[in-house]
Structure 1
Amino acid sequence: MQDVEIFLAHAITLEREAARRYEELAAAMGTEGNAELRRFFTEMAGYSRKHLAEAVARGGFREVPELAPGDFQWPDGVSPEVADWVGVDASLDARGALKLALDSECRCHAWYAAVAATTPDAELKALAQEFAAEEGEHMAALEKRLHALPA
């Protein structure tokens, strides 16, 4: 990837999808009666919405395109946020919810890091590194929660 505007179109889509996924997980944990994890996923959805707003703001003076599904440059043609997303069902417990979220964050981190590692554009490299670092923070928060669960 060599275009900041195209990158921002991808980032906006990823962060919008992440917020939706976290909202689904928060609702599922509320249904399960896990208020603590519901609050955590609600907080994570808030972070995703914050990152979405930042991505939109960075596009401010730029022409960020509306990409058609076939125009996205995703690994294997599928958004990292929705790849392997099985959704939320009645059997999803706390461990499963955290693993599902962690898998999504890992894929998004890998995508941002790959853009940073391969782009020749210095501005895009810095931006992708910043987004990858944010995903790394999300991964760390999820791993901490996951490891805190009883075996």
Structure 2
Amino acid sequence: MSKPGPTENLAIFLAHSVALEEEAAEQHDELADMMDVHHNTEVAAVFRKLAHYSRLHAQEVREHAQGQELPRFAPWEFDWGEQSSPEAGGIDGAHYLMTTRHALRLAMKNERRAYDFYHLISQNSPDPEVRDLAAEFAEEEKGHMDLLEKWLEATPDSANEARFDMDPPHVPE
């Protein structure tokens, strides 16, 4: 027997949406902490701002859920359609020498995955209330992508876009 996915009903959809935003905020905080450790404060500030926005969106989702009992899922029980939460999965390109532009492109990739997640639900849910709310959330994610695009346009290219690591990790051969 398969477990119900986020398209099945509003409570399950909202539980997934809260988790998506909370995991995104946690990941942004972790990346900010990593950047702080390596004295990359400019990029750390970008990730802290993104974490703040994710928390605001999580609060909006909770407001939609007021008066409802949301189901609880273990982390491995969420149905993301892939292995990890859409907004918290794509960090494989993160590194301690990343620039602000690199951080914004990474965030854009994750926002695109969140948009795709919500858009797919808005097209495929059998529940009209879920479809409508998923479409609204997809539009919010599109707005986040537009904001990140404006930030990218306002961030000058860095001469050190591909920074040289003078002390790379030593990997045994």
Determine the C-alpha separation between the residues in 1 that align with 2:81 and 2:45.
31
Partner of 1:63: 69
Residues 87, 24 of structure 1: alpha-carbon distance in 2 compared, 3 angstrom cutoff: farther
Identical columns (%): 38
Q: Please, what TM-score do these two structures have when normalized by structure 1? A: 0.84
Cα offset for 1:23?
Answer: 2.8
Determine the C-alpha separation between the residues in 1 that align with 2:45 and 2:97.
19
**The residue matched to 2:107 in structure 1 has which SS?**
helix
- Indicate which of 97, 100, 103 corresponds to 2:106: 100
RMSD (Å), alpha carbons:
2.2
One-letter amino acid of the structure 2 residue matched with residue 71 of structure 1 = E
Cα offset for 1:58?
Answer: 2.1
Q: Which runs of 5+ in 1 are unaligned?
A: none
* Structure exhibiting the larger radius of gyration computed from Cα positions: 2
**The residue matched to 2:39 in structure 1 has which SS?**
helix
One-letter amino acid of the structure 2 residue matched with residue 44 of structure 1 = L
One-letter amino acid of the structure 1 residue matched with residue 140 of structure 2 = E
Residues 146, 25 of structure 1: alpha-carbon distance in 2 compared, 3 angstrom cutoff: farther
Q: Please, what TM-score do these two structures have when normalized by structure 2? A: 0.75
The higher relative CO (CA closer than 8 Å, separation ≥ 6) is in 1
- Indicate which of 27, 35, 40 corresponds to 1:32: 40
- Indicate which of 102, 110, 117 corresponds to 2:116: 110
More helix by share: 1
Residue deviations 1:70-123 (CA, integer Å, cap 9, x gap) = 321112232112323237432221121111111110000110111011112111
